[in-house]
Amino acid sequence: MKLLIMSYSYTGNNEIFAKSIAEKLNMEHICITENKKRTIGTIIADFVLHRTPQTEPSPQVMSDYDLIIFVAPVWMGQPAFPLRPYFNELKKHPQKYAYISLSGYANPELPSKLKHITGYEATKVIELHIADLLPPEPKPTPQTISKYRLNEQEVNTLAKQTVSKLKEERII
Ligand SMILES: Cc1cc2nc3c(=O)[nH]c(=O)nc-3n(C[C@H](O)[C@H](O)[C@H](O)COP(=O)(O)O)c2cc1C
């Protein structure tokens, strides 16, 4: 099975997480980058205006693979917007995909959002939550969650758990 990890990260968490998963599985890993500088302002503007950002590489890089594993944050309950060009491509040319996210907290609508965007269900959706890494008190807030950066040990543990889950469920 030919596998590809495509990751996007704004503050770094999902990038090191994706890198660790790719290393453990000895898989190809592509980091999605944007032509314009991303800010909180452009996240809100893309949300409101439903814009598709300009990214690298071209979505055609996905064409050769049996499963694309996206690793990226959730923004406003949705997959991070720099993934839109790739989901648009999947809508035109369906391929098996999974979405793994190191997000802030549980986003129960994520699988249905993915289905809505691509036109079909993801093979697997896995969410890991920053809120679970923070002490319960004081209660995690969007600010404390957004500031949180994973350390090496946390990345390693979460990546190991994720790889085991993917193997146990025979996704890979
Ligand atoms: C503008 C913005 C909106 C966010 N919205 C959500 C959300 O709806 N659900 C969630 O679980 N986390 C949300 N988060 C938290 C991020 O998913 C979380 O901080 C993630 O670890 C960031 O990943 P990154 O470091 O790879 O960019 C949001 C973060 C930002 C900056």
- CB within 8 A of 76, min separation 6: which ones? 43, 47
Q: How far is the CA of 142 from the centre of ligand 1 (A)?
A: 8
Instruction: List the residue whose alpha carbon is closest to atom 31 of ligand 1.
Output: 146
Q: Is the CB of 130 under 6 A from ligand 1?
A: yes
Per-residue pLDDT, 135: 94
Residue 164 sits in a domain whose CATH number is 3.40.50.360
Which atom number of ligand 1 is nearest to the Cα of residue 106?
A: 11
Q: Give the chain's residues under pLDDT 50.
A: none
- CB within 8 A of 43, min separation 6: which ones? 10, 75, 76, 81
DSSP 80-137: -GGGHHHHHHHHHS---EEEEEEESS--TTHHHHHHHHHSS--SEEEEEEGGGTS-SS
Position 164: which residue type?
S
Q: How far is the CA of 41 from the centre of ligand 1 (A)?
A: 14
Task: Work out how many domains the chain is built from and give that number.
Answer: 1
Q: How far is the CA of 120 from the centre of ligand 1 (A)?
A: 24
Per-residue pLDDT, 87: 98
Domain residues for the domain of 108 are 3-168
